[in-house]
Structure 1
Amino acid sequence: MTVNERLSAAGLMDAFEAARTTGDSEHINVILRQVGLRRGENGMNWSLNAQD
């Protein structure tokens, strides 16, 4: 499932877009964690459940 699909399914797309528009990276990370992801230093999204 893509990031957009996860956000949409969770009803978080509008909140994510608002945080992205304002550049609020802390809020972006909070939202991504709610759908099982985190934002890495390089801007890539990673699954919280993935093994390194």
Structure 2
Amino acid sequence: GREAVVRPLLDRLSPDALAIARAIAVLGGETLETIAALAGTRPGPARHAVQALRDGELL
């Protein structure tokens, strides 16, 4: 199922990207600053993580 497809993609994410993905799942359309704060990172690294998630077609 879906888990079998998504799990290998999530396993390859950096810890920052995984934290950002979780924060986005919880917060949805909040600002990057808010998402970064929940993920425990700064907006700069969060921006890179969001781009990695987009590149992997996870967002």
Q: Which has the larger radius of gyration?
A: 2
Both structures adopt the same fold (TM-score exceeding 0.5): no
TM range (shorter): 0.3 to 0.5
Query: Relative CO higher for 1 or 2, CA cutoff 8 Å, sep ≥ 6?
Result: 2
Larger relative helix fraction = 2
Larger relative strand fraction = 1
